Amino acid sequence: MIYRSSAGDLDLGKVTRLYPAVIVDMHGEVAEMSLEWVELYGDKVKLVSYVLVFDFTPLNEDVKDRVSLNFETKEELIQTMQEVAQFFQN
């Protein structure tokens, strides 16, 4: 299952975790937070972008192997999530 993205071809068969998140700027420090977190505390931080994280890191490994797709809007993130979900429904 290959998903063609702006970051290149991603082998969805090797994904160990797939999750949406946001990148926020908290007074000069950039962090990745959950969508739920930003709904609760988003007024206290600057939202940089929405991301969909494809984590290929094998379980119990220290070296992280991740690819993140960045989006300007939540709608773009949701649209891409729906596209990726189609691969898992077949």
Domain boundaries, the chain: 2-89
3-class DSSP state of 54: strand
pLDDT at position 90 is 62
Mean per-residue pLDDT for 61-90?
92
What residues have CB less than 8 Å from 75, skipping those under 6 apart?
Answer: none
- Given pLDDT bands bounded at 50, 70 and 90, which one contains residue 81? very high
pLDDT at position 20 is 97
Long-range interactions of 12-17: CB distance < 8 A, separation 24+:
12/54, 12/84, 12/87, 12/88, 14/56, 15/54, 15/55, 15/56, 16/55, 16/56, 16/57, 16/58, 16/59, 17/53, 17/55, 17/57
- Given pLDDT bands bounded at 50, 70 and 90, which one contains residue 60? confident
pLDDT at position 10 is 94
